[in-house]
Structure 1
Amino acid sequence: MMKNTHLGYQKTIDFYGCDPEKINARDFIEHALLKAAGLMKLTVINTTIHEFSPIGISGVIVIQESHIAIHTWPEHSYVALDIFTCNQSYALEAGILWLKEAFGATHYEEEDSKRGALKRIEAHNAMKNEN
Structure 2
Amino acid sequence: MQKSLGYQTTVDFYNCNHDIINSVSAITDILEKAAKLMQLNIVNTTIHQFSPIGISGVIVIKESHIAIHTWPEHNYVALDFFTCSTFNDLEEGILWIQKQFKSNKIEQQFSQRGFLTKMI
Q: Identify the TM-score tier after normalising by the shorter chain.
A: over 0.9
Q: Distance in 2 between matches of 1:43 and 1:77?
A: 29
Which residue number in structure 2 is paired with residue 23 of structure 1? 21
Q: Which runs of 4+ in 1 moved over 2 A?
A: none
- Of residues 74, 77, 82, the one that matches 1:76 is 74
Q: Which has the higher helix share?
A: 1
1:65 and 2:79 equivalent? no
Q: Distance in 2 between matches of 1:27 and 1:89?
A: 27
CA-atom RMSD in angstroms: 1.6
Which residue number in structure 2 is paired with residue 129 of structure 1? none
Which residue number in structure 1 is paired with residue 50 of structure 2? 52
Could you tell me which runs of 5 or more consecutive residues in structure 2 were left unpaired when the two chains were aligned. none
Could you tell me which runs of 5 or more consecutive residues in structure 1 were left unpaired when the two chains were aligned. 127-131
Deviation at 1:46, TM superposition (A): 0.3
* 1:41 maps to amino acid: Q
* 2:61 maps to amino acid: I
The structure number with the bigger radius of gyration is: 1
* 1:77 maps to amino acid: N
TM (normalized to structure 2)?
A: 0.95
Structure 1 window deviating more from structure 2 (89-98 vs 51-60): it is 89-98
- Of residues 82, 99, 102, the one that matches 1:101 is 99
Deviation at 1:90, TM superposition (A): 4.0
Structure 1 window deviating more from structure 2 (102-111 vs 82-91): it is 82-91
Task: After superposition, give the CA deviation of every residue in 1:41-100 in whole Å (9 maximum; x if it has no partner).
Answer: 000000000000000000000000000000000000000000001011342111101110
**1:41·1:90 contact (CA, 8 Å) conserved in 2?**
no
Identity score, percent: 57
* 2:65 maps to amino acid: H
